[in-house]
């Protein structure tokens, strides 16, 4: 399903139908990418001369009522089942809605900029969330992938959680580590309870942790011989996730043997770090992804 848009697309950005959904293909001298209207979902980013940076599952659903698996889903206005553990759909309604393209530009240097917006009247079921909000995703694609997620409250207070739930493409998760979280406290959603990180994060089993950290992280993909840098702004949490064998097998939109090729390092405000807005206020959470 496609929303109507009257934006004139510049050279380097085209409208395509990909897997039955409307998307915007970026192809410039600096690299390529793909952004779906469904969920304002960034599915691809590949700087010129580099391997793809984002991972997408070959088993992902491509349907109006299903989220995409991989890339960068937007979790909003709650993370998982929400702070009370009762909210549905999981990770909120933003990744199930069709967003509207409101801006598209390509600079002389080849950097592409896309902006998509979501308002309450575009959502079939707000699940009790106020309808007079505006959410906007600004995507800058070039040698760096920059994302800014901005929420503006309407006439009433808003409190929400949000995540840029980024799936990174790695050669072998067992030879991958995440640096930059040493000493950070985290909630262990697999083993339960809280702990403190010591050294780099290594992957030897299912990993699902909410770190209380606003630090820059580095994904060291040793098998591929590259390091990805994830910088954040106005984000108090970093989530690190890999489903490993058993959970991957339980997920219908995740291939049983795909887990060694991906690693989630997410830019998040959740739990005690949820965002609270007064009427008319805005908040922007951002991330910048680069290859070191």
Phi and psi angles of residue 129, each rounded to the nearest 5 degrees, phi first: -80, 140
Residue 69 DSSP symbol = S
Which of 117, 161, 258, 266 is catalytic? The answer is 266
For residue range 155-202, list pLDDT tens digits in order.
Answer: 999 999 999 999 999 999 999 999 999 999 999 999 999 999 999 999
In a domain, 217, yes or no: yes
In a domain, 8, yes or no: no
In a domain, 38, yes or no: yes
For residue range 141-150, list pLDDT tens digits in order.
Answer: 999 999 999 9
pLDDT of residue 5: 61
Residue 250 DSSP symbol = H
How far is C-alpha 93 from the geometric centre of its chain's CA atoms? 14
pLDDT of residue 2: 44
**If you search the block for the tokens 């954040």, which residue do you land on?**
232
In a domain, 287, yes or no: yes
For residue range 216-274, list pLDDT tens digits in order.
Answer: 999 999 999 999 999 999 999 999 999 999 999 999 999 999 999 999 999 999 999 99
- Judge whether residue 134 has pLDDT over 80: yes
Which of 165, 174, 179, 281 is catalytic? The answer is 165
pTM for the structure as a whole: 0.97
For residue range 14-28, list pLDDT tens digits in order.
Answer: 999 999 999 999 999
In a domain, 157, yes or no: yes
Strand-pair partners of 33:
26, 45
**If you search the block for the tokens 């109507």, which residue do you land on?**
4
Question: What's the total number of domains in the chain?
Answer: 1
Q: Per the structure block, which two tokens stand in for 126? A: 């707000």
- Judge whether residue 4 has pLDDT over 70: no
Phi and psi angles of residue 233, each rounded to the nearest 5 degrees, phi first: -140, 140
What is the CATH number for 220? 2.70.98.10
Show Cβ contacts of residue 87 under 8 Å, excluding neighbours closer than 6 positions.
Answer: 78, 81, 127
In a domain, 2, yes or no: no
Is residue 87 annotated as part of the catalytic site, yes or no? no
In a domain, 56, yes or no: yes
Q: Quick check: helix, strand or coil at residue 94?
A: helix
CA distances from 161 to 84, 92, 227, 277 (A): 12, 9, 29, 11
Is residue 165 annotated as part of the catalytic site, yes or no? yes
- The two beta strands, 262-269 and 100-106, are unpaired
- Expressed as residue numbers, the domain containing 22 is 13-291
- Judge whether residue 1 has pLDDT over 60: no
């Amino acid at each position: 399903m496609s929303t109507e848009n009257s934006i004139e697309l510049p050279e380097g950005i085209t409208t395509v139908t990909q897997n039955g959904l409307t998307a915007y293909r970026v192809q410039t001298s600096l690299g390529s990418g793909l952004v779906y209207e469904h969920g304002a979902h960034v599915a691809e980013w590949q700087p010129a001369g580099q391997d793809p940076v984002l991972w997408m599952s070959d088993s992902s659903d491509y349907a109006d009522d299903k989220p995409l698996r991989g890339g960068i889903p937007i979790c909003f206005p709650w993370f998982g089942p929400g702070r009370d553990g009762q909210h549905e759909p999981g990770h909120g309604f933003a990744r199930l809605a069709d967003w509207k393209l409101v801006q598209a530009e390509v600079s002389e240097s080849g950097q592409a900029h896309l902006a998509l917006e979501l308002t309450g009247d575009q959502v079939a079921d707000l699940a009790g969330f106020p309808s007079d909000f505006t959410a906007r995703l600004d995507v800058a694609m070039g040698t760096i992938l920059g994302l800014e997620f901005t929420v503006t409250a309407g006439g009433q207070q808003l409190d929400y959680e949000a995540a840029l739930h980024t799936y990174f493409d790695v050669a072998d998760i067992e030879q991958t580590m995440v640096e930059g979280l040493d000493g950070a406290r985290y909630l262990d959603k697999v083993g339960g309870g809280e702990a403190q990180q010591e050294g780099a994060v290594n992957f030897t089993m299912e990993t699902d942790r909410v770190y209380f950290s606003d630090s820059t992280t580095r994904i060291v993909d040793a098998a591929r011989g590259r390091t990805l840098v994830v910088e954040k702004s106005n984000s108090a949490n970093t989530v690190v996730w890999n489903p490993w064998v058993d959970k991957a097998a339980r997920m219908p939109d995740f291939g049983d043997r795909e887990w060694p090729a991906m690693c989630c390092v997410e830019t998040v405000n959740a739990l005690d770090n949820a965002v609270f807005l007064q009427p008319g206020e805005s908040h922007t959470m951002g991330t910048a992804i680069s290859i070191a």
